[in-house]
Amino acid sequence: MELTGKLKVKMDEQKFDSGFFKREFVVTTQEQYPQDVKFELFKEKCEMIANVNDGDMIKVLFDIRGNEYNGKYYNNLVAWKVEGAAAGAGAPQGEMPPAPMAAAAPIDLSSEEEDDLPF
């Protein structure tokens, strides 16, 4: 799933004794009735939001996780990619830009050499 909006706030990274760490952030949707939606980033994915500033337009790609604990149900939105929302805004945050494709050598079709391919 994906959601586009303005980064409202990013919380400090939370570290746990087990070595696990996460970071939460909130995105405000851009619709008639804006919603503040909280996302989580885990481990090395926390760096994806490090260079994004409050008020920046971003697109968040995420998974919905749900679980039950003591008869109550909980949902979490776990982000797995964060990128700038503006078209042509450059490389997505936390991602390497794609490598440029090398130009292919021209194919000489004038040769009437027979090959052994059946088609």
Residue-wise pLDDT for 57-70, tens only, equals 999 999 999 999 99
**pLDDT tens-digit readout, 74-97:** 999 999 999 987 643 444 444 444
DSSP 49: G
pLDDT(106) > 70: no
Q: What's the total number of domains in the chain?
A: 1
CATH code of the domain covering residue 11: 2.40.50.140
Q: Examine residue 44 and state whether it is found in any structural domain, yes or no.
A: yes
CA distance 23 to 14: 6
**Which pLDDT does position 116 carry in this prediction?**
62
Mean pLDDT of the chain: 81
Q: Is the pLDDT of residue 38 over 60?
A: yes
Q: Is residue 41 part of a domain?
A: yes
Calculate the alpha carbon distances from 64 to 2, 26, 29, 67 in Å.
11, 15, 17, 10
With vertex at residue 22, the alpha carbon angle to CA 18 and CA 37, rounded to the nearest 5 degrees, is: 150
State the Cα–Cα distance between residues 45 and 7, nearest whole angstrom.
16
Is the residue at 108 inside a domain?
Answer: no
Nearest to 53 by CA among 82, 80, 79: 82
Higher pLDDT, 111 or 34: 34
Q: Look up the domain containing 21 and give its range.
A: 2-84
Asked if residue 34 belongs to a domain, the reply is yes
